[in-house]
Amino acid sequence: MSQVILLSPGKREQTKAANRLAILDAAREVFGEIGFDTATVRDIVRRSGLSVGAFYNYYRSKEEVFDALADDGARRFRPILQAQSAKATDFESYLRAAVSAYFNFIASEHENWVAAGPESEILPQARNTPEILAVFEEVRGVFATIMDRDLSAKVDIDFLAASCIAVAREIGDRMVERKPVDVTGATDFVVRLILGGVPNLPRRDS
């Protein structure tokens, strides 16, 4: 007669966490090697060493796994962003520091994750996961604090934070597609665009 091994609640949670991590690590490798579009759930399962059933205990699709990876990235980026928040003295200095930190972060992520995948592939836009929303609230909170110091700079904080994040996301996506990746140039472009609009952007010869 086979023996049934009952795991303690603590052990069960450790197992769940380990399985989720195995799936995310496997997905990161698979997406990086063959691309998101080409990858299948079965590819991720094979790389993770888990069963198909185990995968579906945690995620319903490769899109959900991608969102989880984006959520994990946002969670790891938040302390970096918070370090810039603590040093913020005015809008421009915070904007430049935060955008530069974000671009350096995604450049590193790109190098470690998707550099080996199809160069022309456009990755899907992650949904607003809890950690991504927390990043938005972090930016919004800093903007609100900075604007409170300057009575002449009262603007719609929600729109301002959303537009700055959207611009940084889109420019960041284009930045990592270029070789070599120019974090400084991309940061300067975003800051100039947000602060002064098109007339403030540096001119190009052609």
pLDDT tens per residue, range 131-151: 999 999 999 999 888 887 765
Q: Are residue 108 and residue 172 in the same domain, yes or no?
A: yes
The verdict on 24 and 116 lying in the same domain is no
Mean pLDDT computed over every residue of the chain = 86
pTM: 0.80
The CATH number given to whatever domain includes residue 20 is: 1.10.10.60
**1 in any annotated domain:** no
CB atoms within 10 A of CB 112: 11
Q: What is the pLDDT of residue 9?
A: 65
Same domain, 41 and 115: no
Rounded distance between C-alpha atoms, residue 67 and residue 69, angstroms: 5
Is residue 206 a part of any domain in this protein? no
| Whether residue 168 sits in one domain with residue 178 | yes
pLDDT of 78 > 70? The answer is yes
Burial of residue 95 (number of CB atoms within 10 Å: 0-12, 13-18, 19+): buried
> Looking at the domain assignment, is residue 2 inside a domain?
no
186 plus 139 within the same structural domain: yes
Mean per-residue pLDDT, 74-98? 91
Same domain? For 78 and 167 the reply is yes
One-letter-per-residue 3-state SS of 125-193: CCCCCHHHHHHHHHHHHHHHHHHHHCHHHCCCHHHHHHHHHHHHHHHHHHHHHCCCCCHHHHHHHHHHH
**Number of domains making up the chain:** 2
For residue range 179-190, list pLDDT tens digits in order: 899 999 999 999
Does residue 205 fall inside a structural domain? Answer: no
Q: State the CB neighbour count (10 A cutoff) for residue 10.
A: 8
Residues 108 and 47 in one domain: no
Q: What is the C-alpha separation between 26 and 113, in angstroms, rounded? A: 11
- Burial profile 14-23: b = 16 or more Cβ within 10 angstroms, e = fewer: eeeeebbebb
Note whether 52 and 123 are same-domain residues.
no
Q: Is residue 83 part of a domain?
A: yes
Which are the contacts of 187, defined by CB distance < 8 A and separation ≥ 6?
96, 99, 100, 103
Same domain, 119 and 188: yes
pLDDT number for residue 12: 82
The answer on 121 and 193 residing in a single domain is: yes
In a shared domain, residues 55 and 65: no
Q: H-type helices in 41-156, by residue range? A: 41-48, 52-58, 62-87, 91-112, 130-149
**Pair 141, 45 in one domain:** no
Separation CA 186–CA 172 (nearest Å): 8
**Residue 126 lies in domain:** 61-200
